[in-house]
Structures are given as structure tokens and as C-alpha cells.
Amino acid sequence: MSCTRRVVIAVFPDVDILDVTGPAEVFTLANRVTSGTAGYRVELAGRARGEVTTSAGLRLVADLSFDEVDGVLDTLLISGAVDADPAGQGTRADGDLVAWVKRVAPMARRTVSVCGGAHVLAAAGLLDGRTATTHWSTAAQLAAEHPEVTVDPDPIFVRCGSLWTGAGISACIDLALALVAEDLGEEIALAVAQQLVMYLKRQGGQSQFSVPLSRPPTTRRDIDHLRMYIADNLDGDLSAASLAARMCLSQRHFARVFRQETGTTPGAYVQAARVEAARRLLEGSDRPLDQVAAACGLGSVETLHRALRKQIGTTPAAYRRRFRMTT
């Protein structure tokens, strides 16, 4: 039996266009692959009806003004806008938009943010005492401005009850697929992902992007290649001696160059990469802890425990209970 799932997406000047069109496309495809029984109806809401110019210069059309949004909503989705300045990227939470979210969120079965939209939810007080994510480049800003929010910059998305927060830009599609999976099941979500020619669940979190990209550009391409090698061979020999030999450098010179380019030691970098991989497996699979440890190059369950306790202050079992993605 078909039903109506009303999805309202906020739009405003300079909004990131993919934050709007990505989820809208996912919901539209869900309707298509279910021959309309999914029942998603997407509406764009802005300060006023009519055209809104996005950050890409392309224009969207708001179906409704903020004041006209009433009644029951299935999903309220708050898109984001990221500003670039000489000090780095930042995001803004417009006061009128924040006030509107405070009013409308109680009408929605679930409230969702993508990218910088998490800053709006935080400003509205909806994320107090919760864990949230946002674009990796503005995670520090979110944490500094809203210390009452636990900001995790790595996940592609985080769910806390009826509140979902998503990472940056294209991650809005991953998040929308997860919403479809919650509503209609994994099989339908997979069919939508196939139509989009993408994975239903991507293999990594934001750390695969934020670790190399949040630092200044390197002066040595071979170091960048080495980091890719590390990510692809976490269960291999990644000792400083082995990596130095791969770079055809003495171990001492390699350690100096690597720290200069990455800001950390080879050993610390490898350990962080292995912990990130372990977190992804704990979130996205039911593999036993000994298999998780082996796949990430941590060797044993005891080493996995020590590494997670040191880096994120919890145990593998506790982390999995909190962040396991279930359907």
C-alpha cells in the first residue's frame, strides 16, 4: 500500500546545490523503483516562493515560503552552505533559518542535516547532548561554537534517534540512501544505489579525505603516494623500516621527511589509519573482533582494545553498540 512521505528541504541563497538535489534524486528514484509506492513527495522551502541562487550560480525554485510550511512532515532536511575565506572554510547559521527550524522540527518524524546544515541544527538546540557530524572542514568550528554537541568528524552520517546529521557534499546521497533503507529496506535502497551507479555503503569515513586534505599541500608527491599505500595495506608490514625502504630513504631521513609533510610520525599515522579502519568495520559489519583486528593490521583483540581506548576513549564493543548501522 502506498503512503505519502512528505520531505521538505530548506533552500536559501548560496546553498550547496548538491545538498538539495542529491537527496531529492534519491527519493525520486525510490519512487521510480517501487512504481510509486514509496510515496516520497519532495518540496523546497525558502524565505519566499520562487527562485533561489545556489553557490554554483544555478537557480532552484522554492515551492513554499518558510511561513507556509505547516502540517505533518515525514522528513525535514536542512542543507548547508560553506564559506571559504583566507583562514579556511566556515559555515553560517542564519538566524531566521534557525528560528524556522525550531518551529518546524517538532512537526517532522525525523530531522536531517547535510554538510553545514548541522550548524543550523546545533544553533537551534536540537543537537545538545548528542553526537553529530558535518563536513570535515567545519567540524572544528561546530565543536568550538557548540561544546554541548559531541562532534565526530569521521562518519559519513550519524543517527541519534530521530535526528540524522550527514557529512559534506556528496555524502548527502549516502545519507539519503540510509533514510530510504530505514523506510523501505536494504533491497530498495540497493536498487536506488544501482541506479545512481554508486555503492550503497561507501567503504570509508571522512577521514580518508580529511587526513590528507586538511593539511597544507605537500611538497612531495611520493609522500602522498605512500599514504595511499598505507590505506590500501593496513594488514601488511607498515613499520617505519619497511616504509623507509619503500621510499628508498634511510629510516632517520624518512621519519624527518614524513613528519615535516604530515605533521606526525610514521608510527602515529599508521596507528591512526588502522583505528579509522577498525571504526568503519565496527560501524558497518558484524565481523568478530579478532577479524576486525586482523583486517586493520592491529593483530589481536587486545591490541584493538588498547588502540581504541587510547584514540577515542572507548572499547570496540561499546563503540559498536553506539554506532553500528542497523536496518
Tell me if 139 sits within 8 A of 153, measured CB to CB: yes
Same domain, residue pair 162 and 232: no
Considering 92-101, 200-209, 300-309, the range whose residues carry the highest mean pLDDT is: 300-309
Q: Does the global pTM surpass 0.85?
A: no
Does one domain contain both 243 and 178?
A: no
Number of domains forming the structure of the chain? 2
CB neighbour list of residue 158: distance below 8 Å, 6 or more residues apart: 131, 132, 133, 152, 164, 165, 323
pLDDT in tens, 169-184: 888 999 999 999 999 9
Whether 136 and 35 share a structural domain = yes
pLDDT digits (tens, 9 = 90+) for 27-71: 999 999 999 999 999 999 999 999 999 989 999 999 999 999 999
Give domain status of residue 258, yes or no: yes
User: What's the pLDDT at 220?
Assistant: 73
Q: Which of 139, 163, 196 is the last residue of a domain?
A: 196
Annotation says 296 is catalytic: no
What is the span of the domain harbouring residue 184?
5-196
pLDDT above 90: residue 250: yes
Pair (44, 115) in one structural domain: yes
Whether residue 141 is found in the same domain as residue 22: yes
From the candidates 3, 115, 172, 296, give the one annotated as an active-site residue. 115
pLDDT in tens, 143-196: 999 999 999 887 888 998 899 999 878 889 999 999 999 999 888 988 998 898
Within-domain flag for 286:
yes
Residue 79 lies in a domain: yes
User: What is the distance between the alpha carbons of residues 126 and 142, in angstroms, rounded to a whole number?
Assistant: 13
Output the CA–CA distances (angstroms, integers) from residue 270 to 138, 243, 245, 267, 306, in the order listed.
24, 10, 16, 5, 15
List the one residue out of 283, 30, 41, 26 whose CA is nearest residue 170.
26
Asked whether residue 207 is assigned to any structural domain, the reply reads: no
Within-domain flag for 205 = no
Same domain, 325 and 178: no
